[in-house]
Amino acid sequence: MRVLLTGGAGFIGTHVHDQLLAEGHEVTVLDSFRPDVHAARPARSPGLVVGDIRRADAVTRALDGVDTVIHLAAKVGLGVHLDDIDDYVSSNSLGTAVLLKSLGNIRNLVYASSMVVYGEGRYDCDDHGQVAPGPRRTEDLEQGRFEPPCPHCGAPLRPGLVTEDAALDPRNAYAASKLNGEHLAAAWARETGGRVTALRFHNVYGPGMPRNTPYAGVAAIFRSALERGEIPRVFEDGRQRRDFVHVRDVAAAVTLSAAALPRQPPFTAYNVGSGTVTTIGEVAAELARAYGGPRPVVTGEYRLGDVRHITAASDRLKNELGWKPAYDLQTGLEDLLHSAG
């Protein structure tokens, strides 16, 4: 394949780039090197276009000679405040629209989506079956009542694994912009005869994780605290369920999806998760042990816009494309500990 990799200088992008090259593909990278992510802009080099995904001239230049696009470029982070809602919409929604408009005769696109498009994960009530709880109330969070109740009877719920067929319910600016990108890409595929695979990444960690920026995931935040000799601070009660997937497993999923595009329907969505349920508190404790640092403290603090539980069922990706994660959490964190990134 001759691939354009947008956001190819970022955390996930650098691993996808390495995987593509290892598989023998030709790769052009488009990256803006935005200062809130990258400390410096690189020197010019073959195969690198420095430019903003929102600029049609930069996108068109990067697309020259390409037959497949892997679109990772995005403003990521929490998205739980409205202060930068315009930046999320501009960077993610508009950036994706400019890319799609510029594709010309290119018909193969892998789009980096996120677990956040689901909102809360799957929940079941003993009396009402599978239910969709609404956003958690501030007064409940203030009182330490973190678990969402059944919206019909108020009873406790059992969290489970979310599948790609679940209802989509984005609950913050970042989530809304990522789902909008899925919708735009699906519309492009219908109108052009193209093919889109949307990969809904769960909590990605591994070598090269961002440090001390809004882009840092929770594992990176805990690691940075430990490296400074500080106590990792865990929000809520630490029992929030997540699926942590190693970045090299994510890179393998991306390249597999790109190679499979000619055989795919117009739009396909895959969860990309390890399949193992882990709590935020367990990750903090495991990192503290690995680094020989202080034990985490559970603060009871919360952020509006955070969801309680979201864990993936990645069976569709495994069954249809033969993907299999190579890292469990223990081996993945050991890899992180011994990496320079």
Structure-token pair, residue 110: 């892998």
**CB-based burial, 38-51: b 16+ in 10 Å, e otherwise:** eeeeeeeeeebbbb
pTM for the whole structure = 0.93
Residues serving a catalytic function are: 174
pLDDT of amino acid 81: 63
pLDDT of amino acid 304: 81
Q: How many residues does the chain have?
A: 341
Structure-token pair, residue 305: 């816009």
pLDDT of amino acid 150: 97
Cα 296 to chain centroid distance, Å, stands at: 25
pLDDT of amino acid 220: 81
pLDDT of amino acid 215: 45
Structure-token pair, residue 214: 């809004």
Largest distance between two CA atoms of the chain: 62
Q: Which of 181-195, 285-299, 324-338 has the lowest mean pLDDT?
A: 324-338
216-237, pLDDT tens digit by residue? 478 888 888 888 999 999 999 9
Side chain identity at 202, as an amino acid letter? H
Please, what is the average pLDDT of the chain?
92
Percentage above 70 pLDDT, the chain: 96
313-323, pLDDT tens digit by residue? 999 999 999 99
pLDDT of amino acid 214: 47
162-213, pLDDT tens digit by residue? 999 999 999 889 999 999 999 999 999 999 999 999 999 999 999 988 765 5
- Beta-strand runs (E) in the chain: 2-6, 26-31, 48-50, 68-71, 108-114, 122-125, 129-131, 158-162, 195-201, 203-205, 233-234, 241-242, 244-246, 267-272, 278-279, 297-298, 311-312
149-176, pLDDT tens digit by residue? 999 999 999 999 999 999 999 988 999 9
All structural domains of the chain, each given as residue ranges with its CATH number in brackets, are 2-121+162-339 (3.40.50.720)
Is pLDDT above 60 for 80? no
**DSSP codes joined into one string, 297-323:** EE-----TT--S--EE--HHHHHHH--
Structure-token pair, residue 204: 């990605």
